[in-house]
A and B are shown apart, each in its own frame.
Chain A
Amino acid sequence: MQGLLACGTYVPRFRLPRAEIRAALGSGPGSGCRAVAASDQDSTCLAVEAARRALAGRDPVATGVLLATSSPVYAERTNATAIHAALDLGQDGSALDLGASPRSGIGAFLAAARSPHPTVAVLADLRDGLAGSADEAFGGDAGAALLFGRGDPIAELLGEASVTHEFMDRWRAPGEPFATVWEERFGAGVYAELVERAVVAALADAGVERADRVVVTSPQRRAAAAAGKRLGAAASWIDEEVGYTGAADLGLRLADELAAAKAGETVLLVSAADGADAVVLGVRRPAPPPAETAATPRREISYPTYLTWRGRLDREQPRRPDPDKPASPPASRNARWKFGFVGTECEACGTVHLPPQRVCLSCHAVDRMRKRPMREARGTISTFTVDHLAPSPDPPTVDVVVDFDEGGRFSCRLTEADADAVRIGDRVEMTFRRLFEFDGVSDYFWKARPLLEGEG
């Protein structure tokens, strides 16, 4: 069995305060907030950001990708493929989807842990529900990635157990926007028994009487609260600041717990979804702190903004042409550029070219280029504009010209920008986004994103 080598989590910057929903609808919970993906992020984009963090600083060649999400972008084609491409993993190794249910989160975790090859379980979800529903208010959007392989592990699997029971607690037909839920008390009772059986069996499998730390995840709020209380799970900032993030939830909570754990401790991970899965982990070394914590600055949005970003409020757009969906052959030829943000660098003179070129801009050498990955590069805005004419779910659009620290210039969209605050000289990083969705096709590419103060 492989060990858990790295965790990467990604929580979008945006928060919808539950009080905003209450103010708009006149009822509902009034405290805390939920995390909201940016208007240009879907589950694939959240997954890429989390996976980049898990794989940071590693040679990721031949790493398999397992995607778990209850909000897949596509059916019929594998969503993990775009993540595989965005991580620039080459063509070796597999990329598979699990889903599309919350239980796929623990499913990807276990499958990656059992794989004989280095495998990253990428868990990502955008959760939504009917206006005023608990799913809407207490759901959240996030990504988490757990890399398993041989090496110096953060934690190892000591034991596991799963139980399965067929019952209707929540369901959603493909294509439907929101889940329907059965009366909550019924499911809570069923889950209580299932969780008990799985936990007892997993602890026995691990030869552990009780775990030092407990992580519980469930789409059933009542079941999660009951199990957490019974097993002694600590309260988490995720409940108040992020919400339940579907398939990503267990990754987010586990990464948090592992960052707090000491070597030698045990962690009990419980998933209650259409059955129950319990895993006992032995901590071998402390994990680095997650990228986002309770202290990370966030930006609050209004309920109408949230509804617009989710496509639930159809706002009038400027009179501009519909976008052309990307053509398959050029997107395939240019996959390392489009998905991996890999440019070229002239071997003769070092000039960096974005997008890739065959003839050097500076010395005109022909076909003397090497690949130059740029997705982790940081840069500075050399000029910019705020475009009120471009169609966008989050107008106005900000376009920037970015000069990268290690060479290369590229003009692109600036996402997550405060249009009034952008200045020449601002620092940016690159992020994987959906430029648009049209005619059933999501067009993915990279955008710049402002670095927050202290991020350099």
Chain B
Amino acid sequence: MTAKGIRDRVAIVGMGCTRFAEHWDKSVDDLLVDAVTACVDSVEDLALEDVEAFWVGTKDSGQSGMMLSHPLKLDYRPVTRVENFCATGSETLRNACYAVASGAYDVAMAVGVEKLKDSGLSGLTIGAPPNDGTAPEMTPPAMFSLLAPAYAERYGVDPAQLKEVLSRIAHKNHLNGELNPLAQFRKAPSLETIAGAPAIAGMLGVYDCSGVADGAAAAIVVAAEDAHRYTERPMYVKALALASGPAEGAMRADYDYTTFPEVVRSAEEAYRQAGIADPRAEISLAEVHDCFTPTELVLMEDLGFSERGTAWRDVLDGVFDLDGELPVNPDGGLKSFGHPVGASGLRMQYELWLQFRGEAGERQLERPTVGLTHNLGGQPGGCVSFVSVMGAERDPS
């Protein structure tokens, strides 16, 4: 089953992103007003009144389209609230892109928001509908920590060596976050501090976990042929792929917790839509779902950046560092930028947007042309996975 895709049919012409942080003095409404206003202000000759339809995403911080239309007074325009676990932000963009590609709207907006810090709880929670009380209740770090011993076992990596690899991933993302004024954590802990932190779950310490933050981000989508009316440097949508798993890993013994089949499928689909044959060579930068350090390790293989069983070596060799062969999470990732669930997918796009425009400041890469975002919700064994490919240029056709 393959989708036709909408390669080069729509473009992002404006974006806004709040700082991701413990915003004790801001409400969900405040964050939405901040992100939407910044997004609109990023486009000359465009007012909020020009946006014809909206998709707003949050996992738990609001309900229905009114969570956006009310604070921003979007008088009687269509707003849809979407939710797809931690891939929610990407889902808003996917829907807005399809709306424009269909011709139904000329200008659409994708908005994502999450306010996690008001709960007073540690980490993310999953509110379940009324149930029979039998669902395994694992904390998110516990779910993702399952990857580490499985990876070590399958590829014969010494657990101490693997711990070093995981710490290296956290350290890289923290170093990148130091260069990002919007990131939650702007001071990188030392490798020793990361490696020596008390255990949270399995091999994971507190520095192996993404930042729990409040934040919002937004993007304006128009038809590709209209894009230059709004900006000289639009970001073109090359591929949007989503895979929702049957959760067979949780039920079948042949799943070994060293991969996300959903990521493999969504990546294959995105590369097909975008016409990418060699992702490691063709992609300039990638923003991936580093919710926990072993996730980023496994993603390098699932996304085709590393051969199976070799990502840990590539991590140690600096392949994914800011100055490496394929920079991964140059903005600091979920680890350092923070992970306000509904906003994260759009925050990833925001980094591509800045990098393509040469506006990434101290972490600016040299002339990036193709970017990938990967956003995942769920857990090893059963998840939703989103992969997008974006381009600085529209292919001649």
Do A and B come from the same complex?
Answer: yes
In the complex, identify which listed stretch (A116-124, A255-263, A313-321) lies at the interface while the others stay far away: A313-321
Give a binary string over A188-208; 1 marks a CB under 8 Å from any B CB, 0 the rest.
000000000000000000000
The verdict on B150 contacting chain A, using a C-beta distance below 8 Å, is yes
Alpha-carbon distance A443/B141, docked complex (angstroms): 23
Name the residue of chain A whose CB is nearest to the CB of B150. A383
Q: Which residues of B contact A382 (CB under 8 A)?
A: 253, 256-257
B136 and A324 form a contact (CB under 8 A): no
A contact patch SS: mixed
Tell whether, in the assembled complex, residue B142 and residue A390 are in contact, meaning their CB atoms are under 8 Å apart: yes
Q: Residue-by-residue, is B163-202 near A (CB-CB < 8 Å gives 1, otherwise 0)?
A: 0000000000000000000000000000000000011111
From residue B63, how far is it (CB to closest CB) to chain A in Å? 19
Given known A325-B133, A435-B133, contact A387–B201 (CB-CB < 8 A): yes
List residues of chain A with CB within 8 A of the CB of B125: 320-321
Interface residues of B: mostly helix, strand, loop or mixed?
loop
CA distance A388 to B251 in the complex (A): 25
A408 to B253, CA, bound (A): 7
Residues of A within 8 A of B150 (CB): 383
Using C-beta atoms within 8 Å of the partner chain, give the interface range for chain A.
35 or more
- Check B199–A390 contact: CB distance below 8 A: no
* Residue from A337, A353, A388 within 8 A of B132 (CB atoms): A337
B229 to chain A, nearest CB (A): 48
* Across-interface contacts of A326 in B (CB, < 8 A): 131-134
Which of B7-15, B115-123, B323-331, B383-391 makes up part of the contact surface? Answer: B115-123
Q: How far is the CA of A384 from the CA of B200 in the complex (A)?
A: 14
A386 to B125, CA, bound (A): 18
Complex interface bits, B369-385 against A, C-beta within 8 A gives 1, otherwise 0? 00000000000010000
Contact size class for B? 35 or more
The docked-state distance in angstroms from the alpha carbon of A387 to that of B381 is 18
Contact B252 A389 (CB under 8 A): no
Q: Indicate if the CB atoms of A386 and B199 lie closer than 8 Å.
A: yes
| A322-345 residues at the B interface, CB under 8 angstroms | 323-327, 329-331, 333-334, 337-338
CB pair A411 B381 closer than 8 Å: yes
Determine the chain A residues whose CB is within 8 A of the CB of B279 once the complex forms: none
Q: Chain A contacts of B138 at CB under 8 A? A: 385, 387, 390, 399, 411
State in angstroms the CA–CA spacing of A418 and B119 once bound together.
33
Known: A353-B251, A401-B146. A389 touches B122 (CB 8 A): yes
Q: Which B60-113 residues sit within 8 Å CB-CB of chain A?
A: none
Task: Determine if A100 is an interface residue (Cβ-Cβ < 8 Å).
Answer: no
Most A Cβ at <10 Å: residue of B130, B132, B250, B257: B132
Question: A321-B121, A383-B257, A399-B142 are known contacts. Are A361 and B133 too (CB-CB below 8 A)?
Answer: no
Contacts of A384 in B (CB 8 A): 146, 149, 202
Contact A324 B201 (CB under 8 A): no
Cα distance, A387 to B139, chains bound together (Å): 7
Tell me which of B122, B145, B250, B255 contacts A385 (CB under 8 A): B145
Nearest neighbor of A330 in chain B, beta-carbon distance: B132
Interface residues of A in 418-456 (CB under 8 A from B): 424, 435, 443-445
Q: Is B149 a contact partner of A386 (Cβ separation < 8 A)?
A: no
B-side contacts of A325, CB under 8 Å: 133
Taking Cβ atoms with an 8 Å cutoff, the residues of A that contact B are 318-321, 323-327, 329-331, 333-334, 337-338, 351, 353-355, 361, 382-390, 397, 399, 401, 403, 407-413, 424, 435, 443-445
A-B contact pairs, 9 of them (CB 8 A): A383-B146, A387-B141, A390-B137, A408-B251, A409-B251, A409-B255, A410-B250, A410-B251, A411-B136
Binding site for A on B (CB under 8 A): 119-123, 125, 128, 130-134, 136-139, 141-142, 145-146, 149-150, 153, 198-202, 246, 248, 250-253, 255-257, 381
14 other A-B residue contacts (CB within 8 Å) besides A320-B121, A330-B131, A435-B137: A326-B133, A327-B131, A333-B132, A361-B252, A382-B253, A382-B257, A387-B142, A387-B202, A388-B201, A399-B142, A409-B252, A410-B251, A411-B136, A413-B136
